[in-house]
Chains A and B, each alone.
Chain A
Amino acid sequence: MYTQALNDPANKAATVAEGEEEQNVRFMARIDADEKIEPNDWMPDSYRKTLIRQISQHANSEIIGMLPEGNWNTRAPTLRRKATLLAKIQDEGGHGLYLYSAAETLGISREEMEHQLITGKARYSSIFNYPTLSWADIGTIGWLVDGAAIMNQIPLCRCSFGPYARAMVRVCKEESFHQRQGYEILLALCNGSDEQKAMAQESINRWWWPSIMMFGPHDTDSTHSDQSMAWKIKRISNDDLRQKFIDATVPQAHFLGLEIPDPDMKFNQETGHWEFGKIDWDEFKQVLAGNGPCNRERLAARTKAFEDGKWVQEAALAHAKKQAARAANKEAA
């Protein structure tokens, strides 16, 4: 669900080889006419690369995103919460798989993408490099992090690449429960004891800024958005999405009786928007560069799962081979 890394510098503007110009013109005409591009259609190399990068990063984010919440799977305070949290984490795994499956139609294998993830060649949303320190964090992640992700993802349902758009439709349909379960957890805390309410406020204090950073750099600093916009991979700008998210979220925080940890936050009657303070992009860059509180742990956990999985994968392949040989022998006999 997490597409923060849309504006990766690796995205060089479309460099179209000579002779392909005509195909590219036809391609752009299809994009302009809002036609969907399907895997076997001709597409510029740079379009393919941009999509592979974006979809695999999106998938990686889903998979890494299972970890911070998984940290509370075994401590959920009621059996109902335990079941819904497990189901939510499971959904994230499922969304990762929908997305890997969409990326595979572009000619990259899932194993390759997993390998890129654990070797640090591919990114994932840096929000997951923050720790989950209290039960309230499970509520906050559902409400803010999934909320931000949904804002990002709804426009992607109209993305020009068919398999990505279809995967997003499935993801968005399933995710509405995630945000609601998060908000419900916070409602229970805010209607509870003083300690519980303090737990909720402390959690919002830590997650607010990283959540609004999920929309990526300001449009003025986001040099690579234009091409993605022209290709209709990206359909709404970072700042527009961020503003939309803040406008939706601030009243929800007030309903909970929680404060947004931004002293500059104020409502502008004229524009109808909530105005917010300065984002600390240094922190964003540091976390992106691998210096967040949990970057190493997250990658270590995925690396371990990948390494521990090798013998299982080998066993399944070996068994399938033996079965095929047995079937062939039977037929020959």
Chain B
Amino acid sequence: MSDKSKNSPIWEVFIRSKNGLSHSHVGSIHATDNEMALQNARDVYTRRAEGVSIWVVLSSDIAASDPMNKDEMFEPGSDKIYRHPTFYDIPDEVGHM
């Protein structure tokens, strides 16, 4: 049954809900070409005007990090608190920064 060549490929769908926000992943669809992928994404994921822009990408073209390597990939970031704004003491009088 699952002869892959007979199935249309899966595409991941990313939608920008409004200008000023980045595209975010909403799910996937099936399609045999770019245009079909965009239109299916539009019909399935934006029936209530949820987006102003759509990206689709073949799922097989996505390189993903392995969750088993989560520690080496992401732990080093979690102790670098200097990346976060709260690391810096700014006197209250300066106001919001």
A and B pair up: yes
> Is B29's beta carbon under 8 Å from chain A?
yes
A111-B2, A112-B1 in contact; A320/B32 too (CB < 8 A)? yes
Q: Which of B66, B67, B68 is packed against the most chain A CB atoms within 10 Å?
A: B67
A94 touches B7 (CB 8 A): no
Residue from the list B8, B10, B27, B68 in contact with A98, Cβ < 8 A: B27
A317 touches B8 (CB 8 A): yes
In the bound complex, residues from chain A placing their C-beta under 8 Å from that of B45 are: 94
State the CA gap A38–B1 with chains docked (Å): 27
B48 touches A317 (CB 8 A): no
By beta carbon, the residue of chain B nearest A317 is B32
> Is A202's beta carbon under 8 Å from chain B?
no
By beta carbon, the residue of chain A nearest B43 is A94
Nearest Cβ distance between residue A294 and chain B, in whole angstroms? 26
B interface footprint on A156-176 (CB within 8 Å = 1, 0 otherwise): 000000010011001000100
Q: Secondary structure at chain A's binding surface: helix, strand, loop or mixed?
A: helix
A313-B8, A316-B8, A317-B6 in contact; A174/B48 too (CB < 8 A)? yes
B7 touches A323 (CB 8 A): no
Q: Secondary structure at chain B's binding surface: helix, strand, loop or mixed?
A: mixed
State the CA gap A163–B68 with chains docked (Å): 19
Nearest Cβ distance between residue A117 and chain B, in whole angstroms? 12
**A312-330 residues at the B interface, CB under 8 angstroms:** 313-314, 316-317, 319-320, 323
> Is B23's beta carbon under 8 Å from chain A?
no
State the CA gap A188–B5 with chains docked (Å): 51
Binds B, one of A54-62, A102-110, A127-135, A206-214: A102-110
A91 touches B47 (CB 8 A): yes
B6 touches A313 (CB 8 A): yes
B29 touches A97 (CB 8 A): yes
In the bound complex, residues from chain A placing their C-beta under 8 Å from that of B36 are: 316
By beta carbon, the residue of chain A nearest B66 is A40
By beta carbon, the residue of chain B nearest A91 is B47
In the bound complex, residues from chain B placing their C-beta under 8 Å from that of A102 are: 27
In the bound complex, residues from chain B placing their C-beta under 8 Å from that of A314 are: 6
B1 touches A104 (CB 8 A): no
State the CA gap A320–B48 with chains docked (Å): 30
A41-B67, A94-B44 in contact; A101/B2 too (CB < 8 A)? no
A-B contact pairs, 16 of them (CB 8 A): A40-B64, A40-B66, A41-B67, A42-B67, A42-B68, A87-B47, A98-B27, A98-B44, A101-B27, A110-B7, A111-B7, A314-B6, A316-B33, A317-B5, A317-B6, A317-B8
